[in-house]
Amino acid sequence: MGMKASREVTSDEAYAFHRDGAVLLKSILPMDWVGLLAEGIDYANENPDGMSSLGHSPLRIDQFPADRSPRLKDVINESPIAEIVGSALDGKVRFYMDQMFVKPAGEIMPTPWHQDTCYYNVEGHDLVRAWVCVDPVPRGASLEVVRGSHLWNVTYRPAVGKTPDMDPEGAKIALERFEAGLPVIGPESHESWSYADAFLDETLPPIPDIAGSKDSYDILGWDYEPGDVILFHGHILHGAAGGIDLPHSRRAHASMWAGPDVRYVHRLGQVVPDPSDLYELSPKTGQYLEEFPSVFPVAWAP
Ligand SMILES: O=C(O)CCC(=O)C(=O)O
């Protein structure tokens, strides 16, 4: 399939992305790719693995689904998403990881407000998410951001994890790993993982109650149609409203891309494991992802 986007990212859109930290790109992903993405999400949904959230909630969030879903792998490697992200950044981009969010039909569950940066062992201004949904989503269930919060010089605590008193032995091991410069979450987590395994880093401030005081924030959100792509910064405060009824499920895929300034960083409160091939290269805090080209090859360059 051709790699081209349906249209270019305009300079106004790139400007809006850098100013606001997020932008809705209307009708930019060809519908053939949307169809393949839908197949890829459905395959991953029907074939869960150790990185699928299979708790009591009907919401499915999978980490690294492209590692096992061939269609999702094609989307990452061949679709114009890398080009779209790179054009907005005007720089080289490397694929870091992906997730999928499948919310069943009926009353759509919200996604709590959070930043992405604090969940992963990466940091940098050029960390970009491409959020693509294969179903139409009205604003009431679509992605929302606090406009401009990608520039706030604060990293909040992830909303998930245990306090040390809930698992003193596990907390001790996590601290030892952190102090030894090792990722707190090891490679074995790719076999069996849960949001609840993480430890809260209580040195980070808790996330403000944005849902409870929405009028105090400048919130940006959109009605979304398949073929659109929402780009947003990894550091921006974002979430998804919910509580409205949809007659169909809401199947979203979010890929994370790294531009030139993205570096590895050990985080005590790491929630999502590192990409599996990175572990054997023993990354150190401060190393640029471009120092690991075998794991993160350039996906697109201007
Ligand atoms: O689709 C959603 O509800 C949440 C997406 C999200 O939080 C993300 O892509 O980081």
Strand 238-240 and strand 111-114: the pairing is antiparallel
Q: Is the dihedral of CA 12, 5, 241, 137 positive or negative?
A: positive
Q: Going by CA atoms, what residue is nearest to atom 10 of ligand 1?
A: 116
**Closest alpha carbon to 225 in 81, 27, 16, 41:** 27
Question: What does the alpha-carbon distance between residue 75 and residue 33 come to, in Å, rounded to a whole number?
Answer: 7
Residue 197 DSSP SS3: helix
Percent of the chain residues past pLDDT 90, beyond the cut: 92
pLDDT at residue 264 in the model: 98
**Average pLDDT of the residues in 8-23:** 98
Cβ of 113 less than 6 Å from ligand 1: no
| Residue 179 alpha carbon to ligand 1 centre in Å | 31
Cβ of 128 less than 6 Å from ligand 1: no
pLDDT at residue 159 in the model: 85
Amino acid (one-letter) located at 19: R
Residue 84, pLDDT above cutoff 70: yes
User: Which tens digits make up the pLDDT trace of 197-217?
Assistant: 899 998 999 999 999 999 999
Model pTM score: 0.96
| Residue 100 alpha carbon to ligand 1 centre in Å | 8
Question: What does the alpha-carbon distance between residue 54 and residue 174 come to, in Å, rounded to a whole number?
Answer: 24
Q: How many CB atoms lie within 10 A of CB 3?
A: 14
pLDDT at residue 68 in the model: 96
Question: What does the alpha-carbon distance between residue 180 and residue 102 come to, in Å, rounded to a whole number?
Answer: 37
DSSP 23-87: EEETT-S-HHHHHHHHHHHHHHHHS--TTB--SSSS-EEEESGGGT-HHHHHHHHHSTHHHHHHH
Under 8 Å between Cβ of 58 and 115 = no
| Residue 282 alpha carbon to ligand 1 centre in Å | 29
Cβ of 253 less than 6 Å from ligand 1: no
**Domains of the chain listed by start with CATH number:** 11-295 (2.60.120.620)
**Average pLDDT of the residues in 8-26:** 98
Pocket test of ligand 1: the residue of 99, 122, 135, 255 to mutate, having most ligand atoms within 8 Å of its CB, is 99
Residue 103, pLDDT above cutoff 90: yes
**Average pLDDT of the residues in 178-193:** 94
User: Which tens digits make up the pLDDT trace of 234-274?
Assistant: 999 999 999 999 999 999 999 999 999 999 999 999 999 99
CB neighbours of 206 closer than 8 A, spacing ≥ 6?
A: 156, 157
User: Which tens digits make up the pLDDT trace of 110-157?
Assistant: 999 999 999 999 999 999 999 999 999 999 999 999 999 999 999 999
**Average pLDDT of the residues in 148-172:** 93
Residue 54, pLDDT above cutoff 80: no
**Average pLDDT of the residues in 170-193:** 94
| Residue 176 alpha carbon to ligand 1 centre in Å | 31
User: Which tens digits make up the pLDDT trace of 19-42?
Assistant: 999 999 999 999 999 999 999 999
Q: Which residue has the tokens 């081209």?
A: 4
Atom of ligand 1 nearest to the CA of 250: 1
| Residue 3 alpha carbon to ligand 1 centre in Å | 25
Cβ of 36 less than 6 Å from ligand 1: no
| Residue 168 alpha carbon to ligand 1 centre in Å | 31
Under 8 Å between Cβ of 91 and 258 = no
Cβ of 115 less than 6 Å from ligand 1: no
pLDDT at residue 38 in the model: 98
Strand 22-25 and strand 229-233: the pairing is antiparallel
Residue 231, pLDDT above cutoff 60: yes
| Residue 169 alpha carbon to ligand 1 centre in Å | 32
Question: What does the alpha-carbon distance between residue 142 and residue 84 come to, in Å, rounded to a whole number?
Answer: 20
Cβ of 62 less than 6 Å from ligand 1: no
Structure tokens at 13: 């859109």
Alpha carbon distances (Å) from 207 to 135, 148, 180: 29, 16, 28
Residue 2, pLDDT above cutoff 60: no
| Residue 254 alpha carbon to ligand 1 centre in Å | 7
CB neighbours of 279 closer than 8 A, spacing ≥ 6?
A: 183, 186, 187
Atom of ligand 1 nearest to the CA of 131: 9
